[in-house]
Amino acid sequence: MSDAPRPARAGRFGRWSDWVVAAVVLIAIILLRRWLHHAQLESTPVIVPADVVARDVVAPPAATIARRMLKDVEDIVTPPKRPRLAVLTFDDGPFPVTTPLLVAELHALNVPAVFFIIGRDAQEQPALTLRAHAAGIELGNHTQTHPEMKTLSQPQQAMEITEGATTIRRLTGIRPTYFRPPHGAYDAATIDAARAAGDTVALWDVDPGDWRVLTADRIVDNVLAHGRSPAVLLLHNGKFATLEALPRIVKAYRAAGFEFVTLSQLQARLSLPEINDPVRVALQ
C-alpha cells in the first residue's frame, strides 16, 4: 500500500475546501440577513404617504422589502442625487426652562426647526407655545397627553390626536400639518386616526438617542455617524445635553453643505419618494 498517503492528502484538501465553502456560505447568510434587516428598516417611510395602507407601514410586506433591496442595488449602480436638506425636529414640551433656551439657541444659530409638542404641556405653557410659533418654529402634533398609543383603542387614539391638534390650533391659530407618535410607537390604528384627523405622520431617519441620558459629545458623535440626505433628525426638548450638542450638529451639517428647513419646506422641495429614500452622506 505504497500509495496509501495519497487519498489521505486528497481527504485533507477536501476538508479544507469544505471549510472554505462553509465559511463563504456563512458570511453570505450573515450579509444577506444584515441587508434584509437594513431593507426592513429603510422600508419605514420618514413621512408616511397618504396612499400606503396603514398596516403596510407598521409591517412592510415582503414585496416592499424586496423592492427596497432592488433599489439598494440600483442606488449603488447609479447613486441618487439629493439636495442637502436637513430638518431639526424636537419632540415633547414645551417646558419652562429648556424650551426658552432652545428657542434662543435656534434663533442664535439662525436655523428653522419643528417642535412636536404635547397638548397638555402647551396648555400649561401658552406663552412659550406662542413664543416658539412667533419665532417661526413649525409646530407639530405629539398627542394631548403623550400616551403609549399602541395600548389605546382606536377611538382613544383618535381623541389624543384630535385634542393635540385642537390645542395647538386654539393657542396659535394654526392647525398642525404633521403628527408624530410618542416614543415612535404606533400601530395601524394610529396612522388611520392621524389621517382621519387630517394629520400627516412624520417619523425620522436620524435618531442619535438623546432621549436617553447621553453626553453632548455622544449625541454629536451619533449624529455625525449617521449622515443622511435629506436628514430628518429626531431630537428632544427638555434635554440640556441636546442643547449643548446643537451648535456642533448645525456646524457639521452646514460644513457638509446642508441647508436647514422645516418639514413643510422639505415637502415643498422634494417628492415623498425622495424624502423616503435618503442617501448616505459623510459628515466627518
Catalytic residue IDs:
91, 236
| Pairing relationship of beta strands 85-91 and 279-280 according to DSSP bridges | unpaired
Question: Which three cell numbers mark 127?
Answer: 406663552
Regarding 92 and contact with Zn ion (CB under 5 A), the answer is yes
CA distance 67 to 64: 5
How many residues bind Zn ion (CB under 5 A)? The answer is: 3
Residues 26-65: x where in contact with Zn ion by CB under 5 A, - otherwise, as a string: ----------------------------------------
Nearest distance, CB of residue 178 and Zn ion, angstroms:
14
Give the interface segment with Zn ion, choosing from 29-37, 87-95, 161-169, 186-194 (CB under 5 A). 87-95
Nearest distance, CB of residue 128 and Zn ion, angstroms:
17
Q: What is the DSSP string of the chain?
A: -TTTHHHHHHHHHHHHHHHHHHHHHHHHHHHHHHHHHHHHHHTS-SB--TTS-HHHHHS--HHHHHHHHHHHHHHHHSPPP---EEEEEEES---TTHHHHHHHHHHHHT---EEEE-HHHHHH-HHHHHHHHHTTPEEEE--SS---GGGS-HHHHHHHHHHHHHHHHHHHS---SEE--GGG---HHHHHHHHHTTPEEB--SB---TTSS--HHHHHHHHHHT-EESEEEEEETT-HHHHHHHHHHHHHHHHTT-EE--HHHHHHHS-HHHHTSPEE----
Give the interface segment with Zn ion, choosing from 26-34, 180-188, 215-223, 227-235 (CB under 5 A). 180-188
Nearest distance, CB of residue 183 and Zn ion, angstroms:
6
Nearer of residues 143 and 276 to Zn ion, judged by Cβ:
143
Nearest distance, CB of residue 235 and Zn ion, angstroms:
11
Nearest distance, CB of residue 143 and Zn ion, angstroms:
8
Give the interface segment with Zn ion, choosing from 78-86, 181-189, 198-206, 264-272 (CB under 5 A). 181-189
Regarding 182 and contact with Zn ion (CB under 5 A), the answer is yes
Give the interface segment with Zn ion, choosing from 42-50, 120-128, 178-186, 265-273 (CB under 5 A). 178-186
Q: State which residue has the least CB distance to Zn ion.
A: 91
Nearest distance, CB of residue 92 and Zn ion, angstroms:
4
Nearer of residues 85 and 206 to Zn ion, judged by Cβ:
206
Nearer of residues 89 and 177 to Zn ion, judged by Cβ:
89
Burial group, residue 190, by CB count within 10 angstroms (0-12, 13-18, 19+): buried
Regarding 91 and contact with Zn ion (CB under 5 A), the answer is yes
Nearer of residues 181 and 227 to Zn ion, judged by Cβ:
181
Q: Which distant-in-sequence residues (6+ apart) come within 8 Å of 245 by Cβ?
A: 210, 216, 217, 219, 220, 223
Give the interface segment with Zn ion, choosing from 103-111, 123-131, 177-185, 261-269 (CB under 5 A). 177-185
Nearer of residues 210 and 277 to Zn ion, judged by Cβ:
210
Nearer of residues 52 and 159 to Zn ion, judged by Cβ:
159
Q: Which residues contact Zn ion by CB under 5 A?
A: 91-92, 182
